[in-house]
Amino acid sequence: MDRISQSPTDPAFVANPYAFYDKARAAGDMFYWTDYDLPCAVTHRAVSALLRDRRLGREAPPECAPTYPDFTRDFYALEAHSMLEVEPPRHTRLRGLVLRAFTSRRIAAMAPEIETLCHSLIDAFPPGPFDLLTHYAQHVPVTVIARLLGVPDSTAPRLLDWSNRMVGMYQARATEAVQRDANAAAAEFRAFMVDYIAQRRVTPGNDLLTELIAAEEDGEKLTTDELITTCILLLNAGHEATVHTIGNGIKTLIEQGKPAIDETSVEEIIRFDPPLHMFLRWVYEDVDLFGHTFRRGDRIACLLAAANHDPAAYDAPATFNPARKGPQNTSFGAGIHFCVGAPLARLELVIALRTLMARLPALSLAEAPRYSNVYHFHGLQRLMVTAR
C-alpha cells in the first residue's frame, strides 16, 4: 500500500482536496495516509463496499476502545449514545425508534414552511455585497432543526453556536482549546435539552422531539441521554453538513452559469463538492480487502469525496454535469449508517437553492470564495455575493 503524506490543514489542500485524491487514487483502491496514520479507501468501488461490509463498523471492539482526555468527558459521554457510533443490536433499536418519528410524511409536510422561510431570509438581504453563508446558508437548516425540535426560532442562534463548537472536535485543526470548547458546548446543549425534554414529557407538542419521546418499539423507548444525543446528531449532521452543501452548491451554480434546480442537479451538487469527506470504520475480524490484509482492531478511512470523483465510476468527474447519470454518490454514506436525515437534506437543498436562484437571477460572486480549515468537513469560510 503506497504511503502518501498530505497535511489536511495545508491551505492548498483546504482549497482543493480533489487533486490530492486523484494522486492517491492512482496508487489503487487504497493508500496509507501518513498524516492520519490510517489506510484509506479512495475509489468508488472500495468506499461503497467498505461502507456496507458488516465485518467493519463504527463501534470500537471492546479491547480497542479509545481513551479520551478528561477535558472531553462530557462530549464523549453523549457520543456514546449516538446511533452513528454504535452497531447492532443497539443501532437497530435506536434507528428504528428514530425512524418511527422522523417519517417521510413529516419531512414532506415541511416543504411549504421551508419555502416561506427562504423567502423571508431573501427579503432581509442587505443591499450591498454580503456573506450569503451568514445571511442564508446557516439560517435555513438551523431554523428547520429548531422547528423540528419544537423550540422557538429565537433559540436558533444558540443551536448554531453549539453546533459550530461541537463539530470542532472532529476537525483536523482541533487543538486542545478547540476540544475544550467542543466539550463545553456539549455540556451546555445537554443542560438545555434535559430541561426541554422534561417540559415536553409533561406538555407534548406537535414536534419531532415529542414524537421521539413517544416512539416505542418492543416495549422500549429512548432514554433521556439517547434523546439528547439523537437531537445532537440531528443538529450537527443536519445543520453543519447542509450549511456546507448550500454554500458549496451556490458557489458551484454561480460558477456554472446557474443551471436549473431540480432533484437531479441537486444530486450532482451533493456529489461534486460534498460537505463530509472522511468516514472512519473499525475492522472486526481478520480480513483481506482490495489486496490488503487487515486485523481486528485496525481502522480504515473511507474518503467519500474521493469516491465521488473516481473516473472509473463517473465520466469526467471533475466536471459539473447537472444531468449526470451514474452510481449513487457516497456523500450520505451507505449501509446501515446511511444518513437518516438525507431526505430532509435533499428537500432543504432543492427548496433553498431553487428559491434563491428564482428570486435573484442576477446573483453573482463579489469576491473569490474561500474554503474554511475544517477538514474532514469541506465548506466555505465565507461567500460574498452581490444580489442585484
Nearest to 134 by CA among 114, 164, 107: 164
Q: Supply the range of the domain harboring residue 186.
A: 3-386
pLDDT of residue 138: 93
- What is the domain count for the chain? 1
Within 81-226, strands assigned E span 130-131
State the cell numbers at 64.
Answer: 480497542
Looking at residue 139, which CATH number applies to its domain? 1.10.630.10
Strands 38-41 and 30-33 come out as antiparallel
| Local structure of 118: helix, strand or coil | helix
Rounded distance between C-alpha atoms, residue 387 and residue 260, angstroms: 18
159 phi and psi angles, rounded to 5 deg: -60, -40
Q: Is the dihedral of CA 309, 43, 305, 367 positive or negative?
A: negative
Rounded distance between C-alpha atoms, residue 378 and residue 375, angstroms: 6
Rounded distance between C-alpha atoms, residue 347 and residue 184, angstroms: 32
* Count of beta carbons in the 10 Å neighbourhood of residue 134: 12
Within the chain, strands assigned E span 3-4, 30-33, 38-41, 56-57, 130-131, 278-283, 287-289, 292-294, 299-303, 364-365, 370-371, 380-382, 384-386
Report pLDDT digits (tens) over 345-371: 999 999 999 999 999 999 999 999 999
Rounded distance between C-alpha atoms, residue 297 and residue 156, angstroms: 40
pLDDT of residue 238: 75
Query: Long-range CB contacts (< 8 A, 24+ apart) of 177-184?
Result: 179/69, 179/71, 179/72, 179/75, 180/71, 180/72, 182/72, 182/75, 183/71, 183/72, 183/73, 183/74, 183/75, 184/74
pLDDT < 70 regions, the chain: 217-218
Cα 90 to the center of its chain, rounded Å: 22
pLDDT of residue 100: 84
State the cell numbers at 103.
Answer: 417519517
pLDDT of residue 342: 92
pLDDT of residue 218: 65
Give the global pTM: 0.93
| Local structure of 339: helix, strand or coil | coil
- Spatial contact of 378 and 275, defined as CB atoms under 8 Å apart: yes
Cα 108 to the center of its chain, rounded Å: 20
Q: How far is CA 329 from CA 209, 244, 313, in A?
A: 30, 17, 9
pLDDT of residue 219: 75
